[in-house]
Chains A and B, each alone.
Chain A
Amino acid sequence: MKEIGYSELEALFTAALASLESRKAFVNGLNVFPVPDGDTGTNMSLTLRTALEEVQKNQPKSMKEFVSTLSAGSLIGARGNSGVILSQIIRGMATAADNKSVLTTTDFTQMLTKATEVAYKAVVTPVEGTILTVVRRMSERAVALHQEDYVDYLTEVIKMGRQAVKETTGQLPALAEAHVVDAGAEGLVILLEGMLMNLRGESVASEKLTLEDEPEEHMGPQDLTYRYDTVLLVASDTLPEAEIRAKLTEHGDSLVMASAGGLTKIHVHTNEPYDTIEYIMKFAPIREGRIEDMQYQADEYAGGPASGAGSSSRTLASTEGCTDENVQRAYVVVSPGPGFDEIFRKLGAQIVVSGGDTMNPPTEAFLGPINACKAKSFIVFPNNKNIIMAAQQAADLIDKNVQVLSTRHPVQAIAALVQLASCGPDDDCTAVANQAIDATDFFAVTRATKNATVSGMLVHGGDYMLLVDDKLVGLGQSIEEALAHLSEAPTAWDDKSLVSVYRGVDLAEASFDALVAMLTRQFPNLEIQPYYGGQAFYGVVGSVE
């Protein structure tokens, strides 16, 4: 093919997205520290997905319409740093293609050149070894090419892109230390590879485009008070929010309203979606809507295959004991596994939200339950450094007395809850909780997801790592070997008396017992208390207090 029109270009971008989505997990894994929490692949694919959804909605009839819709869509869909850069690249490409009706390879070269120019403009000191370097080198290569056929042309451009991606490792110290390439750069080349596959007539295993924001957390089998998940996009951003909130929460919960750029998105769980639609239409026309039967989803999922992570079959958040209006203070805890759920419940937590590494609950997971709970004030334990922000955001959005404590690990919340049990109505309970949190050291054993150098130690993928207060302390070929390094932890434990250890979902009970016996021998002066935690990824976690 020597020329492409706007509909072929759309097909190329769709194939690019499919290509990235099929390798999203790989790109996500290219984060620098070997604990799994990367999201570059997710961010880039969501950005492009929104852009293409915008195209599907607007049905462009010309190249100009197509590229400007794609560019506008990627702007509103931009997520994360890599998504923002991708949106600039798309904007640059759009500017160069704007006045063309068909694109030759020479035009495509101009698009890459413009993309590079626009992408570089948005940063004061461009850092080499990122997505920027790769887009620039591909465009430089493209300028030197004379291939008129798109397949030959893109093959050459991608060859250069691949080489540039490989070289990113040596360009940034953090990447060199971790022996990885830059995730954003890899994502960009994967996008172009998807385009090439489409041109060759090969298909990428692709998912269908939907209006979903992102895949929803699965719910466990349960009876739902409100059955229909209703999302409406309303053509006004000046709705009387207080009035609507009051009305909708009469017959629904989990209400979220957000306005921007002439639109308001309303999300509510209700049993009367028709009434909701009728009511909202009194204020402004509805642009778009989606109604989902959550009961069906829950049943469907309950009958589906068991998940490997073990924890995703749990409900997103449970709110037992929240109907009592006399509760002064309710505790909201993020829990990484079923064992922890139970421990938190026993310690008096009213709201337990599922979440942990690679499974960060969204702000909404806090909003719904806290809004539904009748207690007078709330203390939130995010229990993960990546969740603190979402919890804080939820607290800011709620018109109730909500306090977020910066717990980075579930065991800190356990220590705090134990102390809070004896906190009277006149005491400064936050201080009591913070004191318990500070006095608790935590440790965890997990497997490295890839080769890396961390704190001067060479880690191989598959090694077990012992982390104390999130810092790497020792390595081993087994959980036992890694855990044995606990005595080398830099923290002084002379004033400590109790070690609690929690068994992960993937660790057999017998091996756990052996570990407990080993710890008992290793720390004769400390009491060792074993529990079942049920957390994923971390074979063993524990606290010292």
Chain B
Amino acid sequence: MTDTKGKVVLSRNAMEEILRLATLNVYGVTGLAPVTFAERFTRALALPSTPKGVDAQIRKDGTIEATVHVRLQYGLRVSEVARTIASQVRYVFCSMTGIPQERVELNVVVWSIRVERENE
């Protein structure tokens, strides 16, 4: 983004943080999933860590490819939750950053489903 003087730079990190928060606000998402090998390793060792869960790449043509890795609650219609994530996260991301919606490609990866025993 350029203005008359100086420029605004949006780092990959900042973008990922926005995506993270937006994703966690979607109904049905119970958590994010580890993205990198290192993260999976930490998790396997049961060390305390917060998985990043999102991955954003800025392509050469200026468009953005983002992937969110999520864990969903058991008993929900996965396709509908994924659809909601795609539209809601894109909307929040684009309205916060001012990047036009058509320049953002958003992928949703459902990593796992959280099941807990129904006690009744």
Contacts and interface: CB of A to CB of B under 8 A. Distances in A.
Contacts of B81: 84
Contacts of B102: 388, 406
A504 interface: no
Nearest to A84: B80
Nearest to A82: B27
Interface residues of B, number: 23
A227 B60 CA distance: 50
B24 A124 contact: yes
Contacts of A76: 77
Contact of B73 (A80, A99, A121): A121
Contacts of A114: 120
Contact of B27 (A99, A123, A406): A123
Interface string B17-45: 00000001111111100000000000000
Contact of A122 (B24, B76, B101): B76
A81 B120 contact: no
Contact count band on A: 20 to 34
Given A81-B88, A127-B25, A385-B101, A122 B80 contact: no
Contacts of B76: 75, 78, 84, 87-88, 122
A43 B4 CA distance: 46
A122 B25 CA distance: 10
B84 interface: yes
A83 interface: yes
Interface stretch (A90-98, A339-347, A518-526): A90-98
B75 interface: yes
A251 B21 CA distance: 51
Contacts of A99: 120
Q: Classify the secondary structure of B's interface with A.
A: mixed
Given A85-B27, A95-B118, A122 B73 contact: yes
A162 B112 CA distance: 37
B77 A122 contact: no
Interface string A116-145: 001001111101000000000000000000
Contacts of A447: none
Contacts of B116: 121
A83 B25 CA distance: 17
A78 B72 CA distance: 15
B62 to A, nearest CB: 14
Nearest to A122: B73
B77 to A, nearest CB: 4
A75 B27 contact: no
Contacts of A121: 30, 73, 116
B75 A91 contact: yes
Interface in B80-115: 80-81, 84, 87-88, 101-102
A79 interface: yes
Given A81-B84, A87-B76, A121-B73, A95 B120 contact: yes
A80 B75 contact: no
A75 B81 CA distance: 11
A75 B79 CA distance: 11
Nearest to A83: B80
Interface in B39-73: 72-73
B84 A125 contact: no
Given A84-B84, A95-B118, A406-B102, A124 B77 contact: no
Which of the listed residues B28, B77, B81 has the most CB atoms from chain A within 10 Å of its own CB?
Answer: B77
Contacts of A388: 102
Contacts of B24: 124-125
Given A123-B28, A124-B31, A406-B102, A88 B84 contact: no
Interface string A92-119: 0001101100000000000000100010
Nearest to A123: B27
B29 A123 contact: yes
A87 B118 contact: no
B80 A88 contact: no
B80 A79 contact: yes
Given A98-B120, A124-B24, A125-B25, A87 B77 contact: yes
A80 B27 contact: no
Nearest to B102: A406
Interface in A47-91: 75-76, 78-81, 83-85, 87-88, 91
Contacts of A80: 80, 84
Interface of B: 24-31, 72-73, 75-77, 80-81, 84, 87-88, 101-102, 116, 118, 120
Given A98-B120, A124-B30, 16 more contacts: A75-B76, A78-B76, A81-B27, A81-B80, A81-B84, A84-B28, A84-B80, A91-B75, A99-B120, A118-B75, A121-B30, A123-B25, A123-B28, A125-B25, A127-B25, A385-B101
Q: Which 5 A-B pairs have the closest CB atoms?
A: A122-B73, A406-B102, A78-B77, A81-B84, A124-B24
26 contacts: A75-B77, A78-B76, A78-B77, A78-B80, A80-B80, A81-B80, A83-B80, A84-B27, A84-B77, A84-B80, A84-B84, A85-B27, A87-B77, A95-B118, A118-B75, A122-B27, A122-B73, A123-B25, A123-B26, A123-B27, A123-B29, A123-B30, A124-B31, A127-B25, A385-B101, A406-B102
